[in-house]
Amino acid sequence: MKISLAGDLGSGKSTVTDLLIAATGAERYTTGKIMRDLAAERGMSIDEFNRSIEGNPEVDKLIDDGLRALSDDPRDLVIDSRMAWHFTRGTFRVYMSTDPAIAAGRIMAAGREGERFATLDEAITRTAARRKSEKKRYFDFYGVDITDLFNYDLVIDTSYASPVQIASEILSAYEVWLDDIKVKRCLVCPPRLYYRADLPIDREEVRAFRQLMMSGTTLPLSDVVFDSGEFFLTGNPAPAFGIVADGFSFVPCRLVKGKPKGDYIKLEKRK
C-alpha cells in the first residue's frame, strides 16, 4: 500500500498522515520535514529557503531520487510530498484542497519554525507567495503543475471536515481505486461550492435526492470546475442541496475542465 498526499499548505497533511498510519500500520515518509530541516540548517525561514533554491535543482534532485526509490520499496507507506504522485510509481494519489483563510489560520496555530506570522493577513499573503514559488520551481524543473487537480486520483476538500472524516474518506476511496485504478473522485465541503444563479432549485427534486441518500443509494456525481481556488457546480445543483440539507460533510463530485460562466452563488447562502 502506498498513498501519496499532496495539497495546499495548511491542508492538514501531517495530521491526516498520522491517522492513516494509525489505521493501516503503514510507515511515514515526508519531504516537508526534510525541507524545513534544510532551511533551519541554513538559518532561513521556509519561505526564504524556497526562494533561495529557485533555479537550483540540487536540493530537489536529492529529494526526488528518494521518491523514485520508494517505487520499489516493499513497505506500506503514507508519503507526504508535493511530488510523490509524479515520481513514485503505483501510489494512490491524493490532493488535499483547503480554503486559503482556513489554511493560513492552521499554519499560524501550528507555529512551526520559519512559519510564524503576526496576523492572519500576513499568513495568507506569505503562504500564497510560498505556494507560487513552489509551483514555479516544480514547473521549471519538471514541466508539471502541482496545482492541476487532474493529476490526482482523489481530490478532497479539508476546509470544513474533521481529520478523522478526511482519513476515513481517503481509505474508502483507496479501496475503490484498488478495484479500478482509473476511478477518480472529488469530495467538496458544501461551503466551498458555488452554483449557477440562473438555475432554479426544484424542491421536490431535492427531497427525492434526500430520500435516495437516506436509503443508501449512491447519488449521481455533480460536475464541478475548479477555478481561482473555488469549486463551481456546472449542472443541476439539486443533489448537492439534498446532501447539504442532511448535514453531510462532502458533496461527491466529478472534476471537469472548463471555466465557470455566468453568475454564481455560494451554496451555503441559499436557504
Region for residue 116 given its phi and psi (left: phi exceeds 0; alpha: psi -120 to 50; beta: otherwise) = beta
Residue carrying C-alpha cell 534532485: 61
- Does position 262 have pLDDT exceeding 60, yes or no? yes
pLDDT for 270 equals: 45
Cβ neighbours of 233 (radius 10 Å) = 23
Question: Element (H or E) spanning 256, and its range?
Answer: none
**SS3 label, residue 131:** helix
Cα–Cα distance, 26 to 2 (Å, whole number) = 8
- Does position 152 have pLDDT exceeding 80, yes or no? yes
Residue carrying C-alpha cell 471537469: 256
Give me the amino acid identity at 94: V
Query: Residue 248 burial (CB < 10 Å; 0-12/13-18/19+)?
Result: middle
How do 251-255 and 185-188 pair as beta strands?
Answer: antiparallel
pLDDT for 35 equals: 74
Ordered by where they begin, the domains of the chain are: 2-179 (3.40.50.300), 191-247+258-269 (no CATH)
pLDDT for 107 equals: 81
Please answer whether residues 211 and 245 qualify as being in contact, where contact means their C-beta atoms are separated by less than 8 angstroms: no
Please answer whether residues 7 and 93 qualify as being in contact, where contact means their C-beta atoms are separated by less than 8 angstroms: no
Average pLDDT over residues 129-154: 88
Average pLDDT over residues 154-175: 95
Region for residue 114 given its phi and psi (left: phi exceeds 0; alpha: psi -120 to 50; beta: otherwise) = left
- Does position 97 have pLDDT exceeding 90, yes or no? yes
Higher pLDDT among residues 29 and 240, named by residue: 29
Please answer whether residues 43 and 188 qualify as being in contact, where contact means their C-beta atoms are separated by less than 8 angstroms: no
Instruction: Give the pLDDT confidence of 4-13 residue by residue, as tens digits.
Output: 999 988 899 9
